[in-house]
Amino acid sequence: MQPGITTGDRSFQFGDGIFTTIRVRAGVAEYWPQHLARLQQGVARLGFAEPDWQQLTHQVQQAISAPEQVLKVVISRGHAGRGYSPLGVTGPDIYISTAGLPDFRLLQQQGIRLGLARLQLGCQPLLAGLKHNNRLEQVLLKQELATTDWDDLLVLDQRGFVTEAIAANVFFYRAGRWLTPVLDQAGVAGVMRQVLLAHLQAEQVQWTLDELQGIEAMFCCNALCGILPVHTFLDKPLQLAPVQQVQQEFACFVA
């Protein structure tokens, strides 16, 4: 594990890295096997040298410093001279940091108001699903959100298909079924999305905005905030009861 980043690090230079953000609950890195699997997938897809995964697991456990906190693991391709080529890179390099955990309880209970982003995500199937270190689209989306009164924004890709919220995945409820966007062209396949896909037996769909007209409920989710009901999407009120049922079921499921 690197003590600090330097200017020769390719993650700093080019965003040539991946990361995962983990909730520490009761002193344990929650869903660590799923986070680890996602890191392993990212390393393989981007062609990084493979780190010692057992050692990384130990480093994550050693980094936990509070019963409830946020823990972030960044894996950079490593260090090299100038230029884009990955040839001759020494690495990978691993960085682990911790931070305080935001309090999401009120939003989990009351829900959020969701608007629609003007910015649309670029489509790149080679990177789709990965939580890579180039997050400029999300930075611009947060900048856009700050000019609105919404709590979060629903984001489309450049083809016009519903993809995700700014930093969370989305699930929709219609006719007794849960659905979530396919993420084979853009977006981040989050760990909480993965867990909920299996638990809810949700269908992955490719929807335009028009197909959201018939939904009854919606929620956003990620590994930190858990499940956040959407009580209003644009000007449409949505039901909270289907999401509350999932919250109750999921609390039992994770226990």
Active-site annotation, residues? 21, 131, 164
Query: What count of other Cβ atoms lies within 10 Å of the Cβ of residue 143?
Result: 10
Estimate to the nearest angstrom the gap between the alpha carbon of 76 and the chain centroid.
Answer: 18
Report strand pairing: 226-233 vs 112-116: parallel
Compute the C-alpha angle 53/221/36, nearest 5°.
Answer: 5
Residue with tokens 């996602």: 38
Q: Helices 53-63 & 32-46, crossing angle to 10 degrees?
A: 130
Distance CA 186, CA 127 (A): 7
Q: How far is CA 248 from CA 115, 152, 199, in A?
A: 26, 23, 13
Q: Quick check: helix, strand or coil at residue 77?
A: coil
Rounded Cα–Cα distance for residues 159 and 184 (Å): 12
**CA 145 vs CA 168, 177, 181, 198, 233: distances in Å:** 14, 30, 21, 31, 14
Q: Let me know: does 63 contact 94? Beta carbons within 8 Å.
A: no
Tell me the β-bridge partners of 95. Answer: 74
